[in-house]
């Protein structure tokens, strides 16, 4: 695997983790129900994993093998939305995980996995340690930029992106910069610059193109360029129609445009991930399907189990569930504020604004207005919620 492929495996995961939620074990009502279909052993991915695991079992101290296996698990977590692969990745790195000074490669992987559980400070500490040892490490700079952007430290994120110059392909550098600029007051320019960078990289690998094109689709949607957003989402699906982050983003776009029946078709076989099940249930409810109640109950049990485990990673999705499927604005705004204290992506701002508008919560309203002023974010998908907040004021 090349350096760029390794770098992308990590950065794509950063976006995917926000919708890779799973929850409590499903208990079937009778023994005839299918609980899960296991991957076929003939699947090339599973054969590759089996080969890597066998080699690592023979030599568990082989860092190159362990890191390769961990990266493959991370890629599968991104594509399948199955967080168990993240646990497998950590297990592969077990000999080095608790060392005071792990190798740089382990630190980058550990930072990525820590980010998955919102241990952002710990992730940044790992990345800082890497960059003290190796300031030329592009994986560390790009992963650091992602964490900084997720937590709303845009100036630091831009600085980290800039350190990628001469260390990563031009398209990767621009994608990093455009991702930050698109949510911090430079949306139109960032969009145009990324379009141009993509046009100048016709030979970009599919794993790079899906990242870039998905970002362009989201940027276009926030700018109100609906036709372009649609085209980019559809292009991204041609690269990987099972990518969980992409499916969630496209489902949101369809829901925003009252195209719920298309969401039902898109996600009907992809509801193991809580975040995709959430969107599926929202679409079912919108179409008046009698199946909506059953899926809402499944989601409720999953979120309740997560709370029993003190799992707070998916509060954004749970807030959306409380607001959109349980009609409980008070619960929704409480969760949205807790989530906002941890991460500040556009989807986090949107559910905070929607919950604030529905509940009339003054603190949430203030948080939304303060962020709009400080970040200068441009997002047409916020218009309805902001109009309600303005009317309430």
- Do residues 131 and 173 both lie within one domain? no
CA pair distance 299, 301, nearest whole angstrom: 5
pLDDT at 378 exceeding the cut of 60: yes
- Do residues 138 and 173 both lie within one domain? no
Q: How many helices (H) and strands (E) does the chain have?
A: 22, 0
Q: Is residue 374 part of a domain?
A: no
Q: Is the dihedral of CA 249, 253, 258, 263 positive or negative?
A: negative
- Domain end residue (candidates: 211, 226, 257): 257
- Measured from the Cβ of residue 202, the count of other Cβ atoms closer than 10 Å reads 7
- Domain end residue (candidates: 229, 257, 285): 257
Question: What is the model's pLDDT at position 85?
Answer: 87
Q: Is residue 325 part of a domain?
A: no
CB 184 within 8 A of CB 344: no
- Do residues 80 and 180 both lie within one domain? no
- Do residues 12 and 110 both lie within one domain? yes
- Do residues 5 and 72 both lie within one domain? yes
Question: What is the model's pLDDT at position 42?
Answer: 57
Question: What is the model's pLDDT at position 162?
Answer: 98
Q: Is residue 159 part of a domain?
A: no
Question: What is the model's pLDDT at position 392?
Answer: 79
Q: Is residue 105 part of a domain?
A: yes
* Domain of residue 59, residue span: 1-20+45-142
- Do residues 11 and 102 both lie within one domain? yes
Q: Is residue 128 part of a domain?
A: yes
Percentage of the chain beyond pLDDT 90 is 73
CATH number for 191: 1.25.40
- Do residues 58 and 193 both lie within one domain? no
Q: Is 201 buried (19+), middle (13-18) or exposed (0-12) by CB count in 10 A?
A: middle
Q: Which residues contact 38 (CB under 8 A, 6 or more apart)?
A: none
Question: What is the model's pLDDT at position 125?
Answer: 97
Question: What is the model's pLDDT at position 34?
Answer: 42
Encode pLDDT of 296-332 as tens digits: 999 999 999 888 887 778 899 999 999 999 999 999 9
Whole-number average pLDDT of the chain: 89
- Domain end residue (candidates: 95, 125, 142): 142
Encode pLDDT of 146-170 as tens digits: 999 999 999 999 999 999 999 999 9
Q: How many domains does the chain have?
A: 2
Question: What is the model's pLDDT at position 21?
Answer: 42
Q: Which residues contact 376 (CB under 8 A, 6 or more apart)?
A: 184, 185
- Do residues 56 and 136 both lie within one domain? yes
Q: Is residue 112 part of a domain?
A: yes
CB 142 within 8 A of CB 168: yes
Q: Is residue 306 part of a domain?
A: no
- Do residues 135 and 181 both lie within one domain? no
DSSP 25: P
- Do residues 127 and 14 both lie within one domain? yes
Q: Is residue 370 part of a domain?
A: no
- Do residues 11 and 56 both lie within one domain? yes
Q: Which residues contact 99 (CB under 8 A, 6 or more apart)?
A: 106
- Do residues 174 and 69 both lie within one domain? no
Q: DSSP for 99-123, please give it.
A: -SS--HHHHHHHHHHHHHTT-HHHH
């Amino acid at each position: 695997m090349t350096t760029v492929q390794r770098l992308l495996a990590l950065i794509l995961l950063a976006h995917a983790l926000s919708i890779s939620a799973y929850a409590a074990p499903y208990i079937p009502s009778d023994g005839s129900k299918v609980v899960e279909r296991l991957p076929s052993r003939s699947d090339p991915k599973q054969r590759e994993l089996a080969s890597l695991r066998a080699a690592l079992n023979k030599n568990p101290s082989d860092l190159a093998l362990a890191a390769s296996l961990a990266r493959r698990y991370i890629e599968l977590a991104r594509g399948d939305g199955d967080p168990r692969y993240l646990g497998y990745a950590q297990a592969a790195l077990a000999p080095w995980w608790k060392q005071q000074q792990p190798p740089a490669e382990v630190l980058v992987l550990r930072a990525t996995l820590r980010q998955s559980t919102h241990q952002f400070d710990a992730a940044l500490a790992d990345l800082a340690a890497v960059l003290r040892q190796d300031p030329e490490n592009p994986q560390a700079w790009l992963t650091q930029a992602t964490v900084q952007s997720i937590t709303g430290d845009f100036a630091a994120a831009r600085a980290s992106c800039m350190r990628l110059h001469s260390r990563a392909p031009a398209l990767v550098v621009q994608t990093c910069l455009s991702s930050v600029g698109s949510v911090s007051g430079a949306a139109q320019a960032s969009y145009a610059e990324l379009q141009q960078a993509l046009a100048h990289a016709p030979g970009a690998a599919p794993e790079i193109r899906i990242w870039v094109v998905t970002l362009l689709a989201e940027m276009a949607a926030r700018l109100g360029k609906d036709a372009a957003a649609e085209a980019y989402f559809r292009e991204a699906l041609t690269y990987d129609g099972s990518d969980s982050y992409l499916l969630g983003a496209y489902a949101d776009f369809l829901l925003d445009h009252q195209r719920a029946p298309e969401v039902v078709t898109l996600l009907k076989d992809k509801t193991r991930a809580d975040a995709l099940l959430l969107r599926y249930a929202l679409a079912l409810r919108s179409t008046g399907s009698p199946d909506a109640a059953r899926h809402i109950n499944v989601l409720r049990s999953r979120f309740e189990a997560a709370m029993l485990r003190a799992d707070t990673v998916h509060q954004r999705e749970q807030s959306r569930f409380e607001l959109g499927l349980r009609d409980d604005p008070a619960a929704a705004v409480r969760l949205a504020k807790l989530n906002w204290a941890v991460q500040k992506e556009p989807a986090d701002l949107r559910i905070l604004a929607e919950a604030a508008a529905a509940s009339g919560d003054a603190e949430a309203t203030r948080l939304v207005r303060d962020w709009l002023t400080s970040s200068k974010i441009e997002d047409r998908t916020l218009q309805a919620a902001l109009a309600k907040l303005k009317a309430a004021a």
